[in-house]
């Protein structure tokens, strides 16, 4: 009986250590903005501006140290990722475009939240409608992780004063 209790205790300790090195939750967001002034070509014809899509992800985990992000893929397309430490207890992210409701992230007690800013390589633009799978690969402390999910939320572009 003592061996079983010892084994159960060992499994509980291993599971709690493993939870320390896992992404608990991730949410992807994007905003779309268009340049304010229309440009003209050398003949005076208006050039339609291309929309600029800004993408970012918030990850939540128990690890108190800043994660190292090795790669972020949208549908297998590599994005450049830079991470900023976000240690607030509540994050006001913005307003959803589809219903204008606020998006607030509240990490679970003891968890930490980090924002990952993304840029697509080569100036290309992946349309929101084409996003099927988002994969984040990195390290929490020295333990590698992979976290995949399949949706992103469009937020209203903040007013520029």
Q: Is the pLDDT of residue 23 over 60?
A: yes
Q: How many angstroms separate the CA atoms of 136 and 60, rounded?
A: 12
Q: What percent of the chain has pLDDT over 90?
A: 39
Domain boundaries along the sequence of the chain: 25-35+50-154
Structure confidence at residue 38 (pLDDT):
73
Closest CA to 58 of 32, 23, 31: 23
Structure confidence at residue 4 (pLDDT):
58
Structure confidence at residue 88 (pLDDT):
59
**pLDDT level of residue 87 (50, 70, 90 thresholds):** low
Mean pLDDT of the chain: 81
In the CATH scheme, what is the code of domain 25-35+50-154? 2.60.40
**pLDDT level of residue 153 (50, 70, 90 thresholds):** very high
Average pLDDT rounded to a whole number, residues 47-62 = 87
């Amino acid at each position: 009986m003592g061996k079983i209790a010892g084994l159960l205790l060992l499994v509980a300790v291993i599971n709690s250590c493993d939870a320390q090195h896992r992404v608990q939750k991730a949410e992807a967001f994007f905003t779309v903005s268009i340049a304010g002034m229309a440009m003209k070509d050398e003949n005076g014809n208006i050039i339609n501006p291309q929309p600029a899509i800004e993408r970012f992800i918030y990850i939540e985990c128990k690890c108190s140290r800043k994660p190292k992000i090795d790669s972020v893929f949208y549908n297998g397309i590599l994005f450049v990722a830079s991470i900023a430490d976000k240690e607030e207890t509540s994050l006001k992210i913005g307003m959803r475009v589809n219903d204008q409701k606020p998006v607030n992230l509240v990490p679970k007690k003891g968890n930490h939240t980090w924002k990952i800013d993304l840029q697509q390589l080569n100036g290309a633009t992946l349309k929101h409608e084409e996003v099927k799978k988002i994969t984040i690969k990195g390290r929490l402390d020295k333990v590698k992780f992979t976290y995949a999910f399949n949706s992103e939320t469009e937020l209203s572009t903040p007013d520029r004063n």
